[in-house]
Amino acid sequence: MKAEYRKGCPQRERVEHEEYAGARSAGIRESRERDGATDLLEQILDRDNLNRAYKQVKRNHGAPG
């Protein structure tokens, strides 16, 4: 690529473009989502919840709802 083309492109001159400066890391969001998923899994696998689900299936004879 020619030098004059690179020189006119501000995003290539900087490590982080001004519009993206200060943007939050995706890692933080992913960590929070993982924590939320862990909490949800714990709620689903809670003994009382599983017993309620089992009783509902028995009451409906295996039909959905």
> Which tens digit of pLDDT belongs to each residue from 16-57?
556 655 666 677 777 877 878 889 999 999 999 999 999 999
Residues of the domain holding 15: 3-59
Question: Which tokens go with 2?
Answer: 């020619």
**pLDDT value of position 7:** 58
Is the residue at 65 inside a domain?
no
Query: Residues with Cβ < 8 Å from 12, sequence gap 6 or more?
Result: 6
Is the residue at 16 inside a domain?
yes
Is the residue at 23 inside a domain?
yes
The number of folded domains in the chain is 1
Is the residue at 64 inside a domain?
no
